[in-house]
Structure 1
Amino acid sequence: MSLMRLLQRKANDEIVFRESTSSEVPAYAILSHTWGEEEVVYQDLKKGKDKSKTANKAGWRKIQFCAKQAAVDGLEYFWVDTCCIDKKNAVELGAAINSMFRWYQNAARCYVYLSDVSTPDTRVEDQRAWGEAFRKSRWFTRGWTLQELIAPRLVDFFSSEGGRLGSKLSLESEIYEITGIANKALRGDPLQNFSIKERRSWAEHRHTTIEEDEAYCLIGIFDVSMVPNYGERRDQAFRRLEDEIHKMYKGVDFEQFAVGLNLASFPEATQFVAREKELSGMHEVLQDHSSRSCVILHGLGGIGKTQLAITYARRHKEKYTAIFWLNANSEDSLKLSFRDIAQQVLRHHPSTSILSNVDQNKDLDQVVNVVKSWLDSPQNTRWLMIYDNLDNPKTSGNPDNSAVDIHQFLPRSDHGSIIITTRSAQVRHGIRIHVQKLDVREGLEIVSNMSGRKGIEKDPDAIALVKELDGLPLALSTAGVYLEHVTTSFSDYLQLYKTSWLKLQTTSPLLDSYVDRTLHTTWQITFDRIQQQNPASAKLLKLWAYFHRQDLWFDLLRHVNSVDDEWIQKLTKDELDFNEAITLLCTFGLVDPDRSSQQEVGARRYSVHSCVHSWIVFVLNKEWDRSLAHLALICVASKVPDTNEKHWWLLQQRLLQHATRQAFFIVDTKVDVDGLYLVFHKLGNLYSDQGKLVEAETMYLRALEGCEKALGPDHISTLDTVNNLGILYSDQGKLAEAETMYLRALEGYENALGLELASSYLPALNTMFAFGDLFSQTDRKDMARAMYNRALSGYTTVQGPSSKQSRQIEDRLQALQVASAESNCQEEYGISVPDRDDLAKTLRAAQTMTT
């Protein structure tokens, strides 16, 4: 803070300067006013100056008023901007501009002198006499008076006659109405609790005489410093102010890590009502950038945790270089979220080598690691990561193998900010905030906003409904969406709600242990309405029980037309019918379209909330439909792509969560598996391609059992499964089991097709290739060479000598030749070699296979 020049009123009423350093400033009053003609300036009050002319200036009246009022309040010193700053001294002026907010903040009292508000002596207490003039006062339109209103703790307003009109506190409602400044800001809440956007809005309709001052008057509001440069013009001044604001909140090097907020990656928020207590608590934790800060938002499903995180991110987005949203529902969804982050960063910073050198469509584990490394950079400290829906965390009491170990997905460095939303109270990685139900007023606001029905604040039927829904935002929003599309009254809706609840209580005992019962009843009412409007929509919702809750799309359901149900057939007659059905579900709020960035593969995806999905499973499907479970299994298996198809890996990722759900049905015998050997084979391929080898083995064994039962042990399809099992065992390091499978497959192909046809049958050639790899891996080089040569001959005949497989085998043969030369050298110098009898036996075996 620069030197502060105060005014002192002496006993003889003379007004003189008193210069104070920042460490010895006495208590003082400070004046706020609007400049007019004939203001008293610094040069008018300099020592030795003839003050007779000064006393005749119009501005002298304000100085006398301030001196007199300070004395009344027991203050000897006071400060007035017109004369306490030498504005001809550019250095002093610049220092004063940067210190002024703090000068007003530290003042014992601030007197606002309103020269355009007059109050006759007998009518000071009657606000009707001056209220209109107060609201229209020029003081509320000037740029510099904004900080003079906000910064001081005690602010008193006076008329031009010096009559006291009231204080900032007593006139708070009028000031809010005039300025739009939040009451908490007027009461002295720290300005960092208010977003940059909100603080900017306070100055939108204020003006200054000098255009650059429109920016300079906000220096204190944003707690930054900058050197005034009069003549630079308004736009340049604001550009410099913006730069200083960004440096303050995001760091000096923020530009090299800045990533624009991608709202498409955020979930679609429902109507949000202010949770100021929770938002303030979050900001209190997250505003400290000196070390890692983390907030855990936990509470009942549907209570509004996600909406709270979205609101915080939007309110404080200017304070972060980057904000990323991650789906923490599963480890697979987290990995895909990290891939989205890598793509966002590369769109803004294409030269970020740590990210550009990674194959984002294959090795997601590596993508996670490099994104974490980017976040761990010592200069990259002002990011915010939001992990949404960590509803199945890995804890000591959670036996679920699919539980998410969030530690693997958190950056390692001690900086940055993190928000985690979860239903579990067991997540303890940061400061926990329990998100609880809304009060009646907030509940009415949600119902009003969602239904479009205004003026319901005192409606007794609306109040009764909101009380019955018990402050759960999801239930309130669903009710509001329902009421938007019908003419049903609040009382009728409440009656339906109660009737449906009693019916559910008597017919669905499983609901007794389900915590979100109020959600179930609201959804039941909505479902009844959906069923009336479009039975195909209701059928689609019921069918959803047999898929994972996330990522359903039109093409996935192509095979449902094989079932004998007219409404399910209608769903996939064409995409327009599907869109009609899904749109109705979206309209009633039960289904959410994915609004993230354009998918690389497949059509638009749809999801349902996990609580809604549970309701679909336990209520709509309380009588388990084995035919629908069978149908869903076929749908998933039929979409599994081969590895030579475009985008195969991404499509398999989308299918994986559905396949995992089907696996539970199979284990629990909730689906008929007879004749589904091809389905199991496809699911085995999916798991194998995705590196889930244990699950793949289970599916392949089921497929093998089914093939042997339906087709016989020597059928070509059976042998294909045997071959895949061999590859799987090899990948697992079970080489003896792999060799058994390869031998069975190869002998089976030869027996079924004959030696000549088998030597040109691609699956058999693939078995020979894999068999050669196994022999090479187990150091049986002669057998490997023989098997490679046989496979190479077949590939050359079928695909040509330049095929991918032919080139790979030639490379392997060359490697074997080099290894053989090295082995001969070792033998020549007395190094041990394999037993020659064993070598002869294996060679004869290989020769037998090739004859």
Structure 2
Amino acid sequence: MPLSGVVEFVGREEELQNLHQLLQENNQVAVAAIAGMGGIGKTELALQYAIQQRETYNGGLCWLLAKTGDVGIQVVQFAKTQLDLKPPEDFDILAQVQYCWRRWRGGDVLLVLDDVSGYDEVKPYLQSLPSRFKVLMTTRQNLGRIPQLSLDVLEPQAALELLKSLLKEAPERIERELAIANQLCEWLGYLPLGVELVGRYLARKQDLSLTEILRRLENKRLDERSLSKSKSEADMTAQRGVLAAFELSWQELEDDDKQLGCLLSLFAAAPIPWKLVEQCLAEEDAEDLEEIRDYSLLNLHLLQRKGEGVYQLHPLLRQFFQYKCTALEKVEELKRSFCRVMVAVAKGIPDSPTLQQINDVTPATPHLAEVANNLIQYITDEDLPWVFIGNAQFYNGQGLYKQASPWYKQCLEVTKKRLGEEHPDVALSLNNLALLYHSQGRYSEAEPLYIQALALRRKLLGEEHPDVALSLNNLALLYYSQGRYSEAEPLYIQALALTRKLLGEEHPDVALSLNNLALLYYSQGRYSQAEPLSIQALALTRKLLGEEHPDVATSLNNLALLYDSQGKYSEAEPLYIQALDICERRLGVDHPNTVTVRENLAYLRDRLPPNPE
């Protein structure tokens, strides 16, 4: 039995209770497996269980290392040396083991088989066990029908307590950098082995700050020496560092298994929708991928199932697979494929996403951000802006302008750097950033960007282009927002005429121009000119986008405002109600557009005369 070097065993109280229950449930022979990825603390939990329950097993404890040799031979050797048994030499090994079981010391016995790689290797020796024997196996694999206690990483507070226990000699180090200590545990993915190795390293390096060790880990990752087992740590239960622990599982994988693991490591450290994985490997058979996932990665606890169709790599395993990617022949192809899939996701996020569209795309957004931040070199020039625009529109469409802003800024910087100052995508990036500032009321910052975008589009695309019409419309909208109506009107008229000429009468951009011009006339009190334009915009939006589109709600709200301002309350109220219903269902009750319509309706109702009784 190994010696435990744990100063304070934390975070596994419930697992110890569950383990004892599992081992006691079967009246015949209970076989419980503690399964989990390398470094999760399987051996330590078994060891702590054996220590805590030593009085329960008055027949003794037999601890065998399954990986070091034939378990049968180990049982016989243990019986000879510890119990003074002498099985007949002319018996085969199985018969000798059975001889030992029958003559074992009286009382309940705990038999621990540490690090079992395959149940078939130990099964023959366990079939003839008397019922007083309880067998506990630790393994990185799923052992089929055997009752299993699967270990997860520590809870954040338990990980912090483990780190504190290793630095008890100088508790002020943790208190002084408590926020960094929590970040350190998070970076380690709350993996017990990682936290213990780093804690012990810090204990040896008394002048090393937590900030500095976190910086080193972020720079060197799994190569950081604090994640390796020092020769001086002889009292540690774990025999290996993090990298070496993961390497054991890697060696059991086939080439296709390794490829899938490396692909998964390209995704962000977040839950991964399996449908995205299938799209990345579209040429592979879907059932074959499932087999690799279920019988290799999941079976070896290299991957976790987080929900229906959703999986995730532990942060340190993700780094391990990335570490292995460098030697993989197809890694460049995998990266390009992953990026193509995420670009397609980005292109599917509309300017005004509905609540359902937001919910549908939310699981993919961390992985879209991963591409934008770390794999942009694998995006083609043609698709370059989309990963940034997709991220920005996801937040902008929810009215989360602060979260959208960095993506629009990054888009402008990256497109300029790769494509040069004079490129249509630079104009697009300028326009999008201006729109964001406009939405935030930052008009003085938006105006020069709109003007630059319009000038660049005219230069690159000519006067007659739909993008020029959009720039005219956006600049006019800015002037309108500032009350600069005389400057806005000619731009709106130009934009409407150009859009009709280039795109025809039935196009969403025509409806947008009609709506904006109507709002301008409304704001000037030119109701007779505004009304027919608002009605046309509403009819066209309904025809092109359907009754339930958020843009229909916008048109309904604008027409209602027009009637409201003229005192036509009975005509305005049902339009507000329709607009609010669409906004609440499609955008959510807290969306800025929803709030605006709700306030408009409430203001109208405050001015309605009371109903006669």
TM more than 0.5: no
TM-score range, shorter chain: 0.3 to 0.5
Question: Hey, which of these two has a bigger chunk of helix by percent?
Answer: 2
Larger radius of gyration between Structure 1 and Structure 2? 1
Structure with the larger RCO, 1 or 2 (CA within 8 Å, 6+ apart):
2
TM-score (normalised: structure 2): 0.44
